Amino acid sequence: MRIDVLTLFPEMFGSPLSHSILKRAQEQGIVEIVLSNIRNFATDNYRKVDDKPYGGGPGMVMMPGPVFDCVEHVQTQASEPGHVILLTPQGIPLTQDKVVQLSRLGRLILVAGRYEGFDERIRTGLGAEAVSIGDYVLSGGELAAMVLIDAVVRLLPGALGDGDSAADDSHSDGLLEYPHYTRPEEFRGMRVPAILSGGDHGKIAQWRQEQRLERTRLWRPDLYEKYLKNNPVQEKKKKS
């Protein structure tokens, strides 16, 4: 997969992209991540990329020209035009289902917004999709782009090490993950649940599933309702 990131702050991406799974995936050629500075596509002497909103109101808006030119420039660098995503709090929510869909594409072009937002013609004219990472406001789309990149790249074949698996991640099937324990067996008076060291793998699997249901019900009632709708059998099992 190739991921282009268009941003006014390419330096923000250095550290997250050069550690752990993202670093390894790039070294192994699983993903190529290319950063471009939108300001290099400004056309005036001040390298201006934002301007006042038509109709008035606070803040500044990202101008269409530099973003279009930057997208079109990176599109000349690979055969596929790529799926263009604008990172903005107005976008559709990024969910694990969405991440899985994106991980199946060959090329993503991520545009990180700053200021009050993008001129609307950036979205419509580029056929772009607006994506948000949650219901809170960040100072810009860069951190959101990094979140999206991390979530997508770890799903690419070969990106996770042998010991890791995306299959039983929280959210991969609509429930949160079960609680984990490692040594020591007793820590400051808190013991590992006996069932986990009992060796009965059937009982362990059942306990873990109960824990998943219970913590999802308590902490994410929204996910729990959805899960019960999709898996009506589970409810019966739980009550018995």
Distance CA 21, CA 31 (A): 11
- Could you tell me where the beta strands, DSSP code E, fall in 149-227? 186-187, 190-191
Tell me whether residue 154 is one of the annotated catalytic residues: yes
Say whether 120 is catalytic: no
Nearest distance, CB of residue 139 and ligand 6GU, angstroms: 6
Burial classification of residue 117, based on how many CB atoms lie within 10 Å of its CB (0-12 exposed, 13-18 middle, 19 or more buried): buried
Q: What are the two backbone dihedrals, phi and then psi, of residue 71, each rounded to the nearest 5 degrees? A: -60, -45
Q: Rounded to 5 degrees, what are φ and ψ at 187?
A: -130, 115
Decide if 169 is catalytic: yes
Minimum distance of ligand 6GU from residue 146's CB (angstroms) = 10
Nearer Cβ to ligand 6GU (62/144): 144
**Which residues are within 8 A (CB) of 143 and not within 5 positions of it... i.e. 6 or more apart?**
12
Within 78-107, the residues that bind ligand 6GU by CB under 6 A are 87-89
Strand partners, 187: 190
> For ligand 6GU, which residue of 83, 100, 140, 170 counts as binding (CB under 6 A)?
140
Binding mask 42-81 toward ligand 6GU (x if CB under 6 A, else -) reads ----------------------------------------
Q: Least distance (Å) from ligand 6GU to the CB of residue 115?
A: 10
State the residue number with the nearest CB to ligand 6GU.
Answer: 144
Q: Which of 51, 69, 150, 169 is catalytic?
A: 169
89 noted as active-site residue: yes
- State the CB neighbour count (10 A cutoff) for residue 156: 17
Q: Is 219 helix (H, G, I), strand (E, B) or coil?
A: helix
How many angstroms separate the CA atoms of 160 and 188, rounded? Answer: 33
- Residues 109-138, one symbol each (x = binds ligand 6GU by CB under 6 A, - = not), give -----------------------xxx-xxx
Q: Which residues are designated catalytic?
A: 89, 116, 154, 169
Q: Rule CB under 6 A: which residues touch ligand 6GU?
A: 87-89, 132-134, 136-138, 140-141, 144
